[in-house]
């Protein structure tokens, strides 16, 4: 029988790019990006959707971008502590940001793959005004 355990996890990771879906353990621990097993040892985690609002706890201005992102520099990547608790990283579309700013997630085109013309979408953050 083929071992297929990676399939549900990759599906969940893909899903998380569009809806900020993480996982939650019965012990109360939340994970974003989602994890299949909790640090408490349980593996019966259930999907949980986050509201997408949070606070910037750290950020870096990117001047040298990875392939596919060259036209977007400079841009900010921030660590955002979601209101629910987990800390995730993401691009902040605003230029002037500071630690403590409140942000919310938005869905934007992330990059265009030149060869195949594949467009990937995912979440970014913008300042809450
Ligand atoms: Zn747990």
Tell me: do 85 and 70 sit in the same domain. yes
Tell me: do 59 and 14 sit in the same domain. no
| Domains: count for the chain | 2
Tell me how far the alpha carbon of residue 25 lies from the centroid of ligand 1, in angstroms.
5
Output the DSSP codes for 38-74.
Answer: -TTS----EEEE---EEEEEEEEEESSPPTT-GGG-S
Q: Which domain holds residue 9?
A: 1-49
**What's the rounded mean pLDDT across residues 23-48?**
93
Q: What is the CATH number of the domain that holds 70?
A: 2.40.50
Q: Please, what sign has the CA dihedral across residues 84, 6, 89, 38?
A: positive
Statement: residue 44 has pLDDT above 80: yes
Tell me: do 59 and 109 sit in the same domain. yes
Alpha-carbon distances of 81 from 20, 38, 41, 84, 102, rounded to whole Å: 13, 19, 24, 8, 10
State pLDDT tens for residues 77-90: 999 999 999 999 99
**Ion ligand 1 neighbours, Cβ < 5 Å:** 25, 27, 29, 38, 40, 42
Task: Output 16 or 40, whichever has higher pLDDT.
Answer: 40
Tell me: do 26 and 15 sit in the same domain. yes
């Amino acid at each position: 029988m083929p071992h297929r355990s990676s399939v549900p996890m990759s599906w969940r990771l893909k899903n998380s790019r569009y809806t900020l879906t993480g996982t939650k353990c019965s012990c109360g621990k939340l994970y974003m990006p989602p994890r299949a097993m909790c640090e408490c040892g349980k593996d019966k985690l259930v999907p949980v959707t986050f509201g997408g609002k949070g606070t910037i706890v750290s950020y870096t201005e990117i001047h040298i971008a990875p392939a596919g992102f060259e036209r977007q520099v400079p841009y900010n990547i921030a660590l955002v502590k979601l209101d629910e608790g987990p800390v995730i990283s993401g691009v902040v579309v605003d230029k002037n940001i500071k630690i403590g700013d409140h942000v919310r997630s938005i869905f934007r085109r992330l990059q265009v793959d030149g060869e195949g013309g594949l467009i990937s979408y995912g979440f970014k953050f913008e300042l809450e005004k």
